[in-house]
Structure 1
């Protein structure tokens, strides 16, 4: 029995006192051998087309000064987040992207590396970002404070946005799933079932959108330091 609604997100699945919640993050390694097939299957062809579209879009966002093959990092991050988002839609599989442990681990080192690289190699460019063009002299100190705070909270906003969106849909589905067995009317059960299917489709779209948003924002943060 659940003690509260958020207990479904607690890392509590254990066998022989060994946590198995994060095992879902590494299940994707089982799919990798398909890439070594002599003849690619339809899934691999579709996935390669998606990756090429993302590569072209990220390359455009990074601008002409981007480092060669730098889009591979953001494409890999998109693949990892989307894969874990989709795994969380299956029953009895822990949603690792609903915990700040994973999302902050992705966002903070990425943001920190951008900041170190920007302030080390492009110091004047980073200083110019603190004061937008056309700012009156009186407002310059305030703009510096505002831009500094907005830069500092970026990894937090990236991590919390992904976590909150994954928790919100799963929590709503859990609420509806718990009210179904307690109702005796077949009409209410049918309505709940239809709503659950609609929510599952919505969560499938959210899984793709949130991984895309996370990757695009990381790409935009990277383009600012060049």
Structure 2
């Protein structure tokens, strides 16, 4: 019997006091290098086409004033989050993207770098973002406070959105899976169908959440210049 439902998300596997759960995040790094020297397969060609579509979309969001190659960081961000989301769907593999340690490590440095770059190089432009166009003079102090708060909580919302969506589905599948041994055989078939449907939904959530994280990061970057 589990003491805490959320204990299934804790990195508990360790050897010599070294946590092994986080190794799932680095498995992808061992798979990437062969893509550059082995003849591409159909799956690699499909993945390259997806990356090209993302590159065009991010380029459109960033505008003509963006630096060359600026979309690569967001494509890499999408790829690493998608990989960690998907690998967490396999049994007995730790889902690193369900922890704020992982998501905040991605969101906070990105947001901080955008803010520092914007306030140092485009100070007047950053001040104009605090007051939306057409705001009455009497509401300007309130709008500055609201916009400042909404700007500060951006990395937190990015991180919590990703981790909460990953935890919710995994927790529901864990709860349904733990009820299996106590059910009748006639109900277990229904439970299996429900679990397969939830697994399909989680696969869709894994794609959507990585895309949302990358798109929002791109939009935050486009507001700087």
| TM-score range normalised by the length of the shorter chain | over 0.9
- Corresponding residue number in structure 2 for 1:198: 197
Deviating beyond 6 angstroms after TM superposition, the runs of 4 or more aligned structure 1 residues are none
Any idea what SS the aligned residue of 1:138 has? helix
Provide the C-alpha distance between the structure 1 equivalents of 2:109 and 2:87, rounded to a whole number of angstroms. 24
Shift in Å, 1:194: 0.4
> Structure 1 stretch 109-118 or stretch 15-24: which is displaced more?
15-24
Provide the C-alpha distance between the structure 2 equivalents of 1:17 and 1:116, rounded to a whole number of angstroms. 38
- TM-score between both structures, scaled by the size of structure 2: 0.98
Any idea what SS the aligned residue of 2:81 has? helix
- Corresponding residue number in structure 2 for 1:189: 188
Are positions 1:88 and 2:88 aligned together? yes
Write out per-residue CA displacement over residues 176-199 of structure 1, whole angstroms, 9 at most, x where no aligned residue.
00001111x112111111000000
- TM-score between both structures, scaled by the size of structure 1: 0.98
- Corresponding residue number in structure 2 for 1:21: 21
Name structure 1 gaps, 5 residues minimum. none
> Structure 1 stretch 97-106 or stretch 1-10: which is displaced more?
1-10
- Corresponding residue number in structure 2 for 1:154: 154
- Corresponding residue number in structure 2 for 1:53: 53
Name structure 2 gaps, 5 residues minimum. none
> Structure 1 stretch 36-45 or stretch 194-203: which is displaced more?
36-45
- Corresponding residue number in structure 2 for 1:180: 180
Provide the C-alpha distance between the structure 1 equivalents of 2:177 and 2:111, rounded to a whole number of angstroms. 38
- Corresponding residue number in structure 2 for 1:223: 222
Shift in Å, 1:32: 1.6
Provide the C-alpha distance between the structure 2 equivalents of 1:78 and 1:44, rounded to a whole number of angstroms. 16
Shift in Å, 1:216: 0.1
Provide the C-alpha distance between the structure 2 equivalents of 1:51 and 1:81, rounded to a whole number of angstroms. 14
Shift in Å, 1:8: 0.3
> Structure 1 stretch 129-138 or stretch 28-37: which is displaced more?
28-37
Aligned residues: 225
- Corresponding residue number in structure 2 for 1:115: 115
Provide the C-alpha distance between the structure 2 equivalents of 1:38 and 1:114, rounded to a whole number of angstroms. 37
